[in-house]
Structure 1
């Protein structure tokens, strides 16, 4: 091994470790999908069979879509995650631009505050936030699902790291042309930040699509259930032992995330790589 180059044995070992980890991570999801194709008796059978002996995909997925309003739950998930992401972009980009490119008193303190907020779990502020929404009469509404997450300190930090890689000459040229700071944010920085936005969008959508804790607290109306609550409702709605339809419902709930990631994976990797290039 010379420098940072790995020898043949080390490269093989690295790939074996990575492939093993990939199999361990992916195996539960593959098994979930396979179970959604099987009959109840085959799922409970002591014999482990990868390929279903009797296919029950149509029955399981029909039950998942008809026994509970699963499509409504998916629509709620789309509305909540997309609105949260759009509002986060409206907040994150100007804040990240200010922390990355503007010079003002207390900038380092504000950046330190952002980093400190990264250490605070959402559960720590759940009770005061719940009380605030209760006093405002916003419980059991889309607003209660969306508004607490309109500011993402992780998004501000991620976008700030990306903006640090943008040359100052580009911003100076825009100022010479008479463009305002807000105009620079939306007309100069936004187009350059597409890879970072895609990366952050994946993180944001996955986090809020899979969020079970907060919707369980603030939502009581079934018409506002998000996908995780929908799957839990399916399990509790006398379908808890119908494992085939239950696995089908779980597969339907995660399918949009898998599709979105596959479509955006190149931009996602590019955004993650570029945001770490400059401190």
Structure 2
């Protein structure tokens, strides 16, 4: 390391970043601490992160026994995976057409995409609920997945990424006799994995943590997603057992943390490349 490795500016940046990381990690650290405490240890006047008595095993055992944690995790993975697959299958062709094809409605489609980004799920929740109720689709995976199969954010993200791809690559594929579908499958998708990974993180985190929509369309615990399962957990005699509740929260949030850590490099790469201009 060079002698000027720790300059005042570098030390200041590291200090600010470390403080920011501590602020963002504080809730998770507190969650881990509470998950290892007994009930009497939680409600004390002194604030201590280290438990006086280690109750990790007991709290995690309660978390697994009081609700069907396996069902919650399975539903969360299945719903998020189905939503992600449908969103990618729809968003990539749409973004490719808007980025690389010339047609009259391109500008109008771009306006619709931008307007779609402004419409929250809360604005369409009531008519969607009535529609699913009329067709008898409440308390089903269809009700949990169908409203999110088209992601305007996904279309916008892929559009920015595809604009940075060279047109010569597309022209060469057309000269080789590829159809537009073939170009998407054999040229666009293999080169779009950084953007797909970045979008996957956004999509999975949003829908794994979503409580609003499952709370509306699901009343059967067999179809409950992880956040909704926490409500059932608290309602089932565990309202004041915060140690077990924090243990259940840790179990539910761990898959997201693990997935992000595994995909961190591609996520950063995808976010960086979607900001490039073609």
After TM superposition, is the score higher than 0.5? yes
Structure 1 residue 47: Cα displacement: 1.6
RMSD of aligned C-alpha atoms? Answer: 1.3
Structure 1 residue 137: Cα displacement: 1.5
The reply on whether 1:260 has 2:259 as its aligned counterpart is yes
**In structure 1, what is the equivalent of residue 218 of structure 2?**
219
| Aligned pairs (5 A) from 1:4-83 | 8-83=7-82
The reply on whether 1:229 has 2:228 as its aligned counterpart is yes
**In structure 2, what is the equivalent of residue 103 of structure 1?**
102
Higher mean C-alpha deviation, range 36-45 or range 86-95: 36-45
State the TM-score, normalized to the length of structure 1.
0.95
C-alpha distance in 1, partners of 2:79/2:32? 26
C-alpha distance in 1, partners of 2:52/2:38? 9
Query: Structure 1, unaligned stretches of length 5 or more?
Result: 1-6
List per-residue Cα deviations over 1:34-83 (Å, max 9, x = no partner): 11011111111112222222111110001000111111111000000000
Secondary structure at the aligned position of 1:238 is classed as: coil
C-alpha distance in 2, partners of 1:107/1:163? 15
The reply on whether 1:168 has 2:167 as its aligned counterpart is yes
Structure 1 residue 112: Cα displacement: 1.5
The reply on whether 1:131 has 2:130 as its aligned counterpart is yes
Query: Structure 2, unaligned stretches of length 5 or more?
Result: 1-5
C-alpha distance in 2, partners of 1:105/1:238? 60
List per-residue Cα deviations over 1:184-203 (Å, max 9, x = no partner): 11111000000100000000
Secondary structure at the aligned position of 1:19 is classed as: helix
List per-residue Cα deviations over 1:128-149 (Å, max 9, x = no partner): 1111111222111100000000
C-alpha distance in 1, partners of 2:151/2:194? 18
C-alpha distance in 1, partners of 2:100/2:74? 38
Secondary structure at the aligned position of 1:239 is classed as: coil
Structure 1 residue 238: Cα displacement: 1.2
C-alpha distance in 2, partners of 1:48/1:106? 61
State the TM-score, normalized to the length of structure 2.
0.95
**In structure 2, what is the equivalent of residue 94 of structure 1?**
93
Structure 1 residue 10: Cα displacement: 4.0
C-alpha distance in 1, partners of 2:275/2:34? 40
| Aligned pairs (5 A) from 1:128-167 | 128-167=127-166
Corresponding pairs, count: 273
C-alpha distance in 2, partners of 1:99/1:33? 46
List per-residue Cα deviations over 1:232-279 (Å, max 9, x = no partner): 110111101111100000111100000000000000000000000116
The reply on whether 1:207 has 2:179 as its aligned counterpart is no
**In structure 2, what is the equivalent of residue 4 of structure 1?**
none
Higher mean C-alpha deviation, range 219-228 or range 19-28: 19-28
C-alpha distance in 2, partners of 1:43/1:256? 26
Secondary structure at the aligned position of 2:236 is classed as: helix
Structure 1 residue 18: Cα displacement: 2.4
